[in-house]
Amino acid sequence: MPNKNNVAMLEKVKESIEASKGFFVVDYRGLTVKESQEVRRALREVDSQMKVYKNNIVRIALREEGLPDIGEDLTGTCAYVFFANDPVDAAKALKKKGDELKKLDFVAGVADGKGLSADEAKAYADLASREELMAQLVYVMASPLRGIASVCAGPARGLVTALDAIAEQKKEAA
């Protein structure tokens, strides 16, 4: 008969998985309570949260939810960072705090229904965020329009320059 605490934790893990678009697994060994709170605060700002569950229970939950098996990566002190929206924002926040504290390491992850290795999870932190990509797209789309406007304004600008030169000549002649 399964332990009641483990059954309750399994339900919590499933709820976390269902409420998120994916998660990263990080090794948080050596983090103090204060550092852990800093990491959680940084993750909360990007609509993510870090939780600690038993690795075996997470393996069971992944199997029952039909998600990729990343079980071989789940060893040691693992924390699970569930992201509600953009995985890039969560990965960037983790990487930033990990670089500051020198204690967080990516272990694995699940994003877009696909299992991620440690290197693939780290790669998310190097991608441009959704907002940055949108800004780049707007810039690329606006560049030709700016060029067209400049070309169309050219003759009018030339006319103004010619009229100004004529006005200067008349002033000098007078």
- Mean pLDDT for 2-24 is 86
Angle between helices 4-19 and 55-65 (to 10 degrees): 60
Torsional class of 27: left (φ above 0), alpha (ψ -120 to 50), beta (otherwise): beta
155-172: b or e for each residue (b if 16 or more CB lie within 10 Å)? Answer: eeeeeeeeeeeeeeeeee
Per-domain residue ranges of the chain: 4-127, 128-174
Q: Which pTM does this prediction carry? A: 0.71
Pick the CATH number of 4-127 from 3.40.50.2300, 1.10.15.40, 3.40.50.10470, 3.30.70.1730: 3.30.70.1730
Over residues 46-88, the pLDDT tens digits come to: 888 999 988 888 888 888 888 887 767 677 888 899 998 888 8
- Residue 156 or residue 168, greater confidence: 168
Instruction: Report the pLDDT value the prediction gives residue 71, as an integer from 0 to 100.
Output: 66
Over residues 111-158, the pLDDT tens digits come to: 888 888 888 888 888 877 777 778 877 877 777 767 777 777 777 777
